[in-house]
Amino acid sequence: MAMVLLGVGMNAQEVKPNFEKKGDLVKGTYYYDNGEVQQVGTYKDGKLHGEWVMYNAEGEKTAIGNYADGVKTGKWFFWKNDELVEVDYSENQIADVTTWQNSNSIAVSE
């Protein structure tokens, strides 16, 4: 029993975020404890700014969207199982939501 707890304790270590300067932006990369990327995006003047991409603990993309001076803007996309949710933001408020279902049909052009 003690060996199992010791093994878990050794693997559960905090992974600190990474920040790097890119012109007038700072790119931030945040990680899960397992080392997988949790989210990546940029800051400008200390505020969320530009594209942000979020991932689950298995490394699959779960969301993508943009910030402008700390405010959600434009189209954001959220993936969950076979569903894609498109959320339109206007002035940091939800303006419209569209849910897309993944189907097995394929469009073929001849």
**How far is 29 from 32, CA to CA, in rounded Å?**
10
pLDDT value, residue 1:
38
Residue 29 has pLDDT above 70, yes or no: yes
pLDDT in tens, 67-83: 999 999 999 999 988 89
Secondary structure class of 81 (helix, strand, coil): coil
Ordered by start, the domain boundaries in the chain are: 14-101
Residue 108: CB partners within 8 Å, gap ≥ 6?
none
Q: What is the mean pLDDT of residues 29-44?
A: 96
**Two tokens at 22?**
């890119």
Q: Which residues have C-beta within 8 Å of that of residue 60, sequence separation ≥ 6?
A: 79
* Rounded to 5°, angle at Cα 80 from 79 and 83: 80
* pTM exceeds 0.95 for this model: no
Q: What is the CATH number of domain 14-101?
A: 2.20.110
What is the Cα–Cα distance from 81 to 45, expressed in whole angstroms? 36
